[in-house]
Structures are given as C-alpha cells and as structure tokens.
Chains A and B, each alone.
Chain A
C-alpha cells in the first residue's frame, strides 16, 4: 500500500473513533515498513486535528472527541514501541491551566483541557477560582512549558494580568509560554498584559501552541 493510503487510513480510523481499526492499522503499517513517527504525526494526529476542526464547527461533540482520543492513544502505544527509546513517551508539552481566582466559570476551560489532552499534551488542570500563587507553584512543580488562564468576565480578567506579574516575580516568565482565554479575552488583551497569545477557540489555541512549542 502507498504511504499516503496508510496515512489516510490512520486518519480515517480516528475520524470513525474506531479503536480496533486504529490498532490494526498501526500494527499493519509497521509490518509494511512505514515510519512510526510519520504514522503518528501525519496519520493519526491528522485525524484528531480534523476532529478538533469539526468540534469547532459543531459537527462533532465532546464525547466523540474523547472516544477518538482513546483510539489514537491505542494506536500511538503500538507505534511508540517501534520508536527509538528517547522518542518514546514524549509529550507535546506540559501545561498548567486554570480559571483565575474569583471566577467560577469552568465550562470553556474544561473543553480546552479535554482538547489539549486529546492532542497529547500533559495537562495539569487546577480547576476554577484558582489563587494566582497556585499557578506559579504548580508550574514550578511540574516544570511546565505552558501556563494557561481563563477568565469569563471583565471583573475577573485582571487575574490574568496578576498571573503574568507573579510569573515574572518567580523568575518563571521567560521559561514558560503563557496563554489566555475566556469570553472577554482578545489578542489585544494578551498583548496588553504581556501574555504570549490569546486562544480564541480550541482549534486556534492548538495551532498557536504548536507554532510556539516547535
């Protein structure tokens, strides 16, 4: 089978959220001499990226994403065994995320946490109404690559600015990427407070994150 066909079949197994098919394709593609890293990044991950795009459009729903993620993880587990030891169990990045103190809205943040996990990031979700110092403590503890904060209201979004200041004071600001989200956040707000970027939607966040971590 041609390389493109293997990659297409891998992506389709994820779009079908078919764990058995994903495992079967992973095993057979290895036997056929396909590069496992290429199968992960351009096959199965392409499928999950498409699922994310469909979620953004209201054509796929959160439970479907979770099932597709399970299918992807099952395939990746097989493919990883064929990778050199230093490439195994590599995470896309370590993320600490939460809704800032005073804000109890966590539905949007919950969606992005699921999306980030589905895409292979190690996510530490601090929950909602999270004191700023907890973001800093957790980022240190897990050696985070990214610190994300959510705020739903104009009255609480100042917490995102305080987080930037707290990360600077702790000497972490140059070591982590910061991202902000929530109904009232904008690109301009991110620039104004010194955050690295604003994630407008789950897909937008994933694209910007990938760009900055590469």
Chain B
C-alpha cells in the first residue's frame, strides 16, 4: 500500500498510510462536531477529502464553473511582510491585476481602527488615489483590536491584570468601557473612508480580544448600516470560538462568549453585516488532513445556517492551512478546493 504525502499543521512534510489518513480525517470531523455540537461530515464527504489528499498532483483546483470570489484582507501589508518593497497602492494593483483578487482592501500598517483615527485624512487621500488606478471593489480594513484600549496603550485599566487579582467586576467594567470607545473609533474611521469612496469596510480579526471585541464589531456594524443603508460590511473573525474574557456580554439577548461560527454568523446578520468571514484555527501539532476535516465541519455548519455570503479565512494557520509564513501550495490548494466544494462557499 502506497504512502500519501501530506503535511503537519506546522507545514512539515509527512507520509501517511491510507488508514492513517482516513483515521485523521475521521478524528478531525469528530473533534469539530463534539466541540461545536454540530453534525460531523458524512462518509461520502470524508471519502471526497480522502481523494483530494490522495491526489498525486502538487496543486489541485475546483472544477470549472465552481470557482468563487477571491478576496484578500490586509493585502498591502502582506507583500511588505514578505519583504517585497512596494507601496500600498502598487501592492493592491499587484493583487488585482496579477494575483487574481476579486476584491481588494486598503489598510494601514498598524491595521487597527484606533491608530488610524488621527491620520484618517491621509488614509482618505491614499484611498482616493487607489480608486483611480484599480477596478475591483475596494474595502478599507482594520481590526477593532480592543487590546489598544487597555493600559498602557489605552485609557482603561488592564482587564488581564485585574482578572489575575480576582477583580472580576472591575475587569468587566474595563471591557465594557473599551467597547464604547472602540465603537466610536470604528464608526468614525469607517464613515470617513466610506464617504471618500470605499466600496466597503472590513472589520478584520474581530474577537481577537474576546467577547468584548466581537461586541464592538457588531455594534459598529449596526450603527454603520443605519447610517449608510447601502454600505458593504465584511466582518472577519479571529478564532473558531469567541473567547469569554468578559463572559456575560450579550447581543440581542444572546451571550457571545463561546459562540462558534454557526452562531457567530447569526449575530453578524442581526448587525447588518454583508459578508461574514469565519475562522477555524489550525493546530500545528496535528496533521493537515485532521485540521482540514475539522475546519470544513465547522464552516459547513456555518454555511448551512447563513443568509449572507460567507468568505472563509484561508491562510497562515487558519482554514486547515499550516502555520507557516509561506503556506505551501499543495495544502493551500487542497484546503481551498475542499472548502469551496464541500461548504458551498461564496468566497475565500
């Protein structure tokens, strides 16, 4: 029986027997089903995944006609991170004209709404110049990043430190105050960029600082949607479930802490979000088949209940793709094909 070449979640190549591959695919979906209290993948779906991993080709793709929209978040930052010395506008041109991006996104190197607020005028200028030389829908993106509202970066007491001292009420108050400030900043920056011609706003990595961070994204989306009924808002997540760092925050009566993608998307819909970007984290110590089977189980459950388009996050350390600075094409293409075809996605 031949060995199948695949990778671990940290990108390292590994060989598996057919039985090992089937075992990891089954274990991955079972883990997701157990955690998310959702259905595991069917035997047919697991066989489909097996066939993708068993393909002898380095690169695989969807069949013609099954392609989806390819959007990028933080695109101008990523080329710089790879030490490619191009300006943000040129980077977006490269993404649109060379890398097949269907939407593009302008973002500042700090990539958080708070630091953009005092320089929003210069960001508007760059946005306007970008609009003149690109054609694809242009988002302005940043993170709610509630970490910037706690001391020493922000005005409110550091809830992590308070929690360690057992000061739970004080920590919760700090999170609640941070939500209010973050919402103001997100709405201010987003309004300015939308008024300058952005086709949409992307709140990226929402929930990175826990349930308060997610709440800030939802509240800001709600206000923006009321202010600009035609605005396109994309809400991308930070992790597979909402960390309960406050633990009691609710949105329309539902507790946010502990929500997995299939519940998160319902909150996003209530807030008026246009496109939802769920995330499933890759475990670097488990194999890519295990990670992908697990990720697809979560995302499929999300897509089944969603009434808005789903653009799943696929890349470094998420969506079944390994945690490496340069994700290998063999796994990235397998993960993308499987995710699109099994979950009926709208975009990546």
Residues of chain A whose beta carbon lies under 8 Å from any beta carbon of chain B: 55, 57-64, 66-67, 70, 104-107, 109-111, 113-114, 117, 125, 154-155, 183-184, 186-189, 198, 200, 204
Give the distance in Å from the alpha carbon of A184 to the alpha carbon of B317 in the complex.
8
Q: Provide the residues of chain B in CB contact with A114, threshold 8 Å.
A: 160, 163-164
Partner of B285, one of A117, A125, A200: A200
Determine if A187 and B247 form an interchain contact, defined as CB atoms under 8 angstroms apart: no
Q: Which of B201-241 contact A (CB under 8 A)?
A: 208-211, 241
Task: Give me 16 A-to-B residue pairs in the complex whose CB atoms sit less than 8 angstroms apart, sorted by A's number.
Answer: A58-B244, A58-B259, A61-B247, A61-B257, A61-B258, A62-B210, A63-B172, A64-B244, A66-B168, A70-B166, A106-B147, A109-B160, A114-B163, A184-B317, A198-B284, A200-B285
Determine if B257 and A186 form an interchain contact, defined as CB atoms under 8 angstroms apart. Answer: no
Please determine whether A64 and B210 come into contact, CB atoms closer than 8 angstroms: no
Q: Is the CB of A61 within 8 A of B163?
A: no
Given A58-B244, A154-B325, A198-B284, 17 new contacts (CB under 8 A): A57-B35, A58-B243, A58-B259, A61-B245, A64-B244, A66-B166, A70-B166, A107-B147, A114-B163, A155-B81, A183-B317, A184-B317, A184-B325, A186-B10, A186-B285, A198-B285, A200-B285
A106: B residues at CB distance < 8 A: 147, 160
Question: Contacts A58-B35, A107-B209 known; A200 to B257 CB distance under 8 Å?
Answer: no
- Contact of A187 with B10 in the complex, beta carbons under 8 Å: yes
Q: Which of B153, B258, B323 contacts A184 (CB 8 A)?
A: B323
A126 to chain B, nearest CB (A): 12
User: Are A63 and B168 neighbours in the complex by a CB distance under 8 Å?
Assistant: yes
Is the C-beta of B127 less than 8 angstroms from some C-beta in chain A?
no
Q: Is B283 an interface residue (CB 8 A)?
A: yes
Distance between Cα atoms of A202 and B9 in the complex (Å): 18
| CA gap between A63 and B246 in the complex, in Å | 7
Is B113 part of the contact surface with A, judged by Cβ < 8 Å?
A: no
User: Could you tell me if B163 and A110 are in contact, using CB atoms closer than 8 angstroms?
Assistant: yes
Contact B245 A125, beta carbon cutoff 8 Å = no
A66, B247: Cα distance in complex, Å: 12
Tell whether, in the assembled complex, residue B164 and residue A113 are in contact, meaning their CB atoms are under 8 Å apart: yes
In the complex, residue of chain A having the shortest beta-carbon distance to the beta carbon of B35: A57
Cβ 8 A contact of B164, one of A60, A110, A183, A187: A110
Q: Is the pair A62, B247 in contact by a Cβ cutoff of 8 Å?
A: yes
